[in-house]
Structure 1
Amino acid sequence: MAGEEPGLVIFAEAQTAGRGRRENRWQAPAGKDLMFTLLMRPEGPVALWPRMTTLAALAICKAIEEELPLSPQIKWPNDVYLRDRKVSGLLAEAVITQTGPMLVLGIGLNVNTREFPPELAGAATSLLLSLPQSPVIEFDRNDLAASLLRHLHEQMGRLEDGFLEAVSEVRERSWLLGRQIRATVDGAEIYGRAVDLDLEGHLRLALPDGSLRTLSSAESIRQVV
């Protein structure tokens, strides 16, 4: 807020009260995962900044794909999954300050964590746990961080030109499309089948009455089995 140049990255070695969407907490043991905040001052119109969430999720997937033989998927809008479990979460917030608007992007990526609290054991995973046959004791977080930051830099260049192609790449990695879901939007629950992403990366739902509804955000999304 004091006017720091864009590109500032602050890493945390441990977190006990990391703040996620809907004030959810992101906890992580010391020295195991990647947790960082990135300061950006995008040159594109502020109206396009919501696209950053889509681009950041794609960057996380590309970094994982580059470093490991894994196929991550994006659970719209803020999570990345491996084998139906959450491996990464992100939160992008725009802030207006005396030095101008800025975007603060927070990312958590489970890298070397082997155990999770009981309430998360069936819902969360790490890169290490996703490769159970790997002889690697722990992954090099420096290499992963460098790859992730590079992909973030590349994807943020698609804020205007190239965003439609980015949405297509996100669509190919979508965890939600084709699933019956319940989404909570502004406190109300919506049931439908996730059928597509629109040109802005928003989720399109086919409702039981045959109509379509487009969601630009949601407080929570869960699959209906």
Structure 2
Amino acid sequence: MNPESSSARAALDPLPLHELAAQLRLGFIKVLATSGSTNTELAQLASSGAAGHLSVLFSEHQQQGKGRLGREWVTPAGSAITVSVLASPGTAMEPQSLTWYTMLAALAWSQAVEELAPVKARIKWPNDLLAGDRKICGILAQLVQTPQGFAVVVGTGFNVDQEASELPVATATSLRLASGARVDRGELLAEYLRRFTALDAAFRAVGGRSTAPLAEYADLSLRDLVAARLATLDQEVRVEFPDGSQLLGRAVQLAEDGALVVEKAPGQSQRILAGDVHHVRRADGKYA
């Protein structure tokens, strides 16, 4: 790591984030130096009633972060964004609509990235964000029971400033590597929260219906908005299941419940739910 990298990794100033919390009417923003897992800690606060809708927990250094399949995710301090947001809409939508918050968060991140960097960010079903054909961000959603009903904690691990030698796998990248320039982590986090809260408000306004037109988004639905950025669609894919079996086909549609529809042969398709799969990769072996 060069000296310039080290000097660029100062801790976030919490004051602008607290001002943003007031502006966006968030439940709270807590900025921690270290955390075992922001998802676990925010879920505990939500379950006890100590965290309400749109509460945010950010950690400079997450020590026990996990991905969707339980993989460890640890980064150099100050090089990434590790943040969890609580969506607790109460009676505004049915609990099954909460499954869309992984895609809603991915959409918010993609919008935020393109606002601040010359990078086209695309969504990889079911829970990643890509820059090119490399993973830049992973998202993990966790359903929780709160005093107000079911809610979801949406955690993100976003690679912002890592060098290639600091990335865990060859299929990963960072925003710095993808854009060729540094992006301020505080600005990126703030833009993400603006986009997330706007999408959340629009989604709640239509009762959590993924196909309902959103007035604030040119009457496109949440499903429309996600599908337009979904790198997985129109690709030949290999779906790997936990039992070792595989499905080869073409990803042709994002279903109303967020399932991926894969066409195995003309006129023969299968719906794939995120919780049922181990991996979904392109059939040519590329990550995207």
TM-score (norm 2): 0.71
Q: Which residue of 1 aligns with 2:250?
A: 193
Bigger relative contact order (CA 8 A; separation at least 6): 1
Judging changes above 3 Å, is the alpha-carbon distance between structure 1 residues 116 and 10 closer, same or farther for their aligned structure 2 residues? Answer: farther
Q: Aligned pairs, how many? A: 220
Once the two structures are TM-superposed, the CA of residue 206 in structure 1 deviates from its matched residue by: 0.7
Judging changes above 3 Å, is the alpha-carbon distance between structure 1 residues 186 and 115 closer, same or farther for their aligned structure 2 residues? Answer: closer
Contact 2:117 2:183 in 1 (8 A): no
Q: Which has the larger radius of gyration?
A: 2
Q: Which residue of 2 aligns with 1:30?
A: 77
Contact 1:110 1:127 in 2 (8 A): yes
Q: Given the alignment, which residue of 110, 120, 128 partners 2:176?
A: 128
Once the two structures are TM-superposed, the CA of residue 119 in structure 1 deviates from its matched residue by: 5.3
Question: Which shifted more, 92-101 or 33-42?
Answer: 92-101
- Which 5+ residue runs of structure 2 have no aligned equivalent? 1-46, 212-220
Judging changes above 3 Å, is the alpha-carbon distance between structure 1 residues 215 and 116 closer, same or farther for their aligned structure 2 residues? Answer: farther
Q: Which residue of 2 aligns with 1:19?
A: 66
Q: Which residue of 1 aligns with 2:160?
A: 111
Letter in 1 for 2:258: G
Once the two structures are TM-superposed, the CA of residue 54 in structure 1 deviates from its matched residue by: 1.7
Task: Give matches, 1:20-59, under 5 Å.
Answer: 20-42=67-89, 43-59=92-108
CA RMSD of aligned residues (A): 2.0
Contact 1:89 1:108 in 2 (8 A): yes
TM-score (norm 1): 0.89
Letter in 1 for 2:179: L
Q: Which residue of 2 aligns with 1:223?
A: 282
Letter in 2 for 1:54: M
- Of Structure 1 and Structure 2, the greater helix share is in 2
Judging changes above 3 Å, is the alpha-carbon distance between structure 1 residues 198 and 124 closer, same or farther for their aligned structure 2 residues? Answer: same
Q: Deviations over 1:78-122 (max 9, x none)?
A: 0000010000110111112456322111011111111345751x2
CA distance in 2, matches of 1:219, 1:200: 19
Letter in 1 for 2:60: E
CA distance in 2, matches of 1:107, 1:118: 16
CA distance in 2, matches of 1:178, 1:102: 32
Once the two structures are TM-superposed, the CA of residue 16 in structure 1 deviates from its matched residue by: 3.8
Runs of 4+ in 1 over 3 A off after TM superposition: 97-100, 116-119
- Which 5+ residue runs of structure 1 have no aligned equivalent? none
Q: Which residue of 2 aligns with 1:169?
A: 225
Contact 1:48 1:159 in 2 (8 A): no
Q: Which residue of 2 aligns with 1:65?
A: 114
CA distance in 2, matches of 1:193, 1:13: 40
Task: Give matches, 1:141-156, under 5 Å.
Answer: 141-156=185-200
Once the two structures are TM-superposed, the CA of residue 216 in structure 1 deviates from its matched residue by: 2.1
- Of Structure 1 and Structure 2, the greater strand share is in 1
Q: Which residue of 1 aligns with 2:234?
A: 178
Identity %: 31
